[in-house]
Amino acid sequence: MLKHLVSRWLPVLLWMGLIFFLSSRSDLPTIGDHTTDFIAKKDAHAFVYAVLAFLLLRATSGSTRPALYAFAIAALYAVSDEFHQTFVFRREGTLRDIGIDAAAAALALVVVERLGLRRALK
């Protein structure tokens, strides 16, 4: 039981830790011009939250509504992440980023469902 719990939730916690670490950085590198940098950073937001949603779906796969729980946890973490960024020098928390994060999490869960991958997570 404990081994199962650790194998399901440890990747989630490690990924959340990575997100927290990246959010704490006030010196993220700039990529190209302003537009390229903006797109790259929003793509990064989408990627990390899509992965988080997948990991959460895997962790909650034994529950009655794993996709709902995975989405709710990912979206709440996005809110907490943006709030955290308001305390980091040269960073800001935005509703736009929460929306990007939540949309990416939802899209990842839809893709997993459409491709029939959820059965492989059990």
**Residues in contact with 101: Cβ distance below 8 Å, sequence separation at least 6, in sequence order:** 45, 46, 49, 74, 75, 78, 81
The pLDDT value recorded for residue 62 is 83
> Amino acid letter at 84?
H
Each residue's pLDDT tens digit, 28-39: 888 889 999 999
What range does the domain containing 57 cover? 2-121
Number of domains in the chain: 1
Give the orientation angle of helix 95-114 with respect to helix 34-59, to 10 degrees: 50
Mean pLDDT for each 10-residue chunk of the chain (122 residues)?
A: 86 98 90 92 96 96 92 98 95 95 97 79 63
Provide the whole-model pTM: 0.91
Residues 75, 105 contacting (CB under 8 angstroms): yes
